[in-house]
Amino acid sequence: MAVAELRLLGVTKSYGEKKVLEDIHLVLPSGSFTALVGPSGCGKTTLLRVMAGFLAPDEGKVLLDGEDITFKLPEERQMGFMFQHYALFPHMTVFDNVAFGLRMRKLPHLEVRRRVEEVLSMVGLEGLAKRKPHQLSGGQQQRVALARALVLRPHVLLLDEPLSALDRKIREEMQEELRRLQKATGITAIMVTHDQEEALSVADHLLVMADGRVRQEGNPWEVYRRPKDPMVASFLGAANFFKGVLHRREGRWWVQGDALTFPLEREDPRFREHMILRFMIRPEDLRVEKEPSPGPGMVKVPSRLRDKILLGPTAFLLFEVADEIWRVLTLSPEAAGFFPGDEAYLCFQPSQVLWYLPPEGDGIP
C-alpha cells in the first residue's frame, strides 16, 4: 500500500465572521499515525475535512507528496475517509459494501473479488462477507467501514472519531486493531478523536488544537510529559496546578507557595524577583506518606484527604492543600489504607514540576 507525506501550508478557514482554522502549518510524515485532539469547536473536524477535500480553505495549500491538491475533488486525492457513523449501505452485504468503490472505478470482477477478500481477511471479517450491516455488531460494522476505506489502497487514511459509537471494551480492542493495521500497512493515518487516552495510546504523532490553532504537536509521550502551556497540560489528562512566588537566594530561584517551598531545577532569563508563576505536577508523580520519610531534595506538602475515587486497578485520592484540591493517582490497593480526614504528606521531586510564565488563564480550572 502506497504511503505519502501530507503537508499543510498556512491553511485558514472561516464561517462568516468566525475563523475556524487560522494559519495552520503542518507536516505529517509518511507512514505516521497522527491523532488530532482538542476541545469541542476547536476546528479539528474542519481541518480533517480540508485534508479530505470536502472543504476548500480560504487561504493556504494542501500538498500530498509535494503535489498541490488544495482544490482537487475528494475522489482525486488518493485518500480514504472513514466517517464517524460508518455510512454503510444497509441493503448491501459486507462484500458489496467493501466492493462498492472498486466497482465504481470499473475494476475487473476477479480483481474486485481478490482485493475485497484480502482486506476482509486483514480486518478479521472472514466468513462474514454475505451478512448485512444489521446482522453485525458495532465493532464488526466499524471493521467493514475500515475495510471499505483500505480496499481502495489510499495513500492517506482519514478517520473522523471512528470509535466513538462503540462501548468501552470494544473500543479498546479496536484501538489495538487500528494501531496494528496502520503499522502493518504503513499507511499515513490521521484520526480525529475526543478521547485523550485513545489519542495517547494509538498514535505516534499528536496534535493538540484550540481556537483554530495547533497549540502543540510531537511525540505523544513528550507532549503529555512536557506540555507547552496550561491548556495542553489540563486537556491531556489530570493535572494539579498551583501558584508560587519566585525568590532568589543562594544563587538559585526558589518557589514560595501557600503550603510549600522548593528550588527550581530549570531557570529562565525572564525570571524576576517576586514574579508569580503557575506550576503543574501530574497526579502520578505524587507519592503519599503518612509520616514524612527522609529523602534528599524531596518536597513534602502537608495535606488532608477529602475523598477517594476508585478507577478499578488505580484510584484518585483527593487531598486538600491550602485552599486547593490536589489529585494523586495511585494503585487501588495502596489507596485502600487511606480514609477521608486522614492527614498525609504529598511528596515529589522539584524536577517533576513544570512552570508557566504569565499571563495566566487559558481556561485552567
Query: Looking at residue 126, which CATH number applies to its domain?
Result: 3.40.50.300
Q: Write the single-letter amino acid at 36.
A: L
Q: Are residues 53 and 195 in the same domain?
A: yes
Residue 1 lies in a domain: no
End position of a domain, from candidates 200, 235, 270: 235
State residue 300 phi and psi, 5-degree precision: -125, 120
Q: Is residue 72 domain-resident?
A: yes
Last residue of a domain, one of 235, 261, 291: 235
Domain holding 69, by residue range, is 6-235
Instruction: Read off the pLDDT band of 82 (50, 70, 90).
Output: confident
Q: What is the mean pLDDT of residues 256-282?
A: 91
What's the mean pLDDT in 260-273? 89
Task: Say yes or no: 35 and 159 in one domain.
Answer: yes
Check if the beta carbon of residue 70 is closer than 8 Å to that of residue 61.
Answer: yes
Same domain, residue pair 271 and 182: no
- Confidence band for 363, pLDDT divided at 50, 70 and 90: very low
Average pLDDT, the chain: 90
Q: What is the number of structural domains in the chain?
A: 2
The continuous run of DSSP H or E covering 156 comes out as strand 156-160
pLDDT of 360 reads 47
pLDDT (tens digit per residue) in 107-140: 999 999 999 999 998 888 888 999 999 999 888 8
CA–CA separation, 192 and 202 (whole Å):
12
Domain-located, residue 333: yes
- At 361, the pLDDT band (50, 70, 90 cuts) reads very low
Which amino acid belongs to residue 177? E
Angle, CA of 319, 320 and 323, to the nearest 5°: 150
Question: What's the CATH number where 318 sits?
Answer: 2.40.50.100
- CB-CB contact of 103 with 67 (8 Å): no
Instruction: Establish whether the linkage from the previous residue to 227 is cis, with ω within 30° of 0.
Output: no
Residue 294 falls within a domain, yes or no? yes
Residue 233 CA to residue 297 CA, distance in Å, equals 25
Cα(264)–Cα(279) distance, integer angstroms: 11
The whole model's pTM is what? 0.86
Residues forming a β-bridge with 217: 207
Co-location of 92 and 215 in the same domain: yes
Q: Is residue 283 domain-shared with residue 152, that is, in the same domain?
A: no
Q: Are residues 219 and 254 in the same domain?
A: no
Q: Mean per-residue pLDDT for 337-357? A: 93
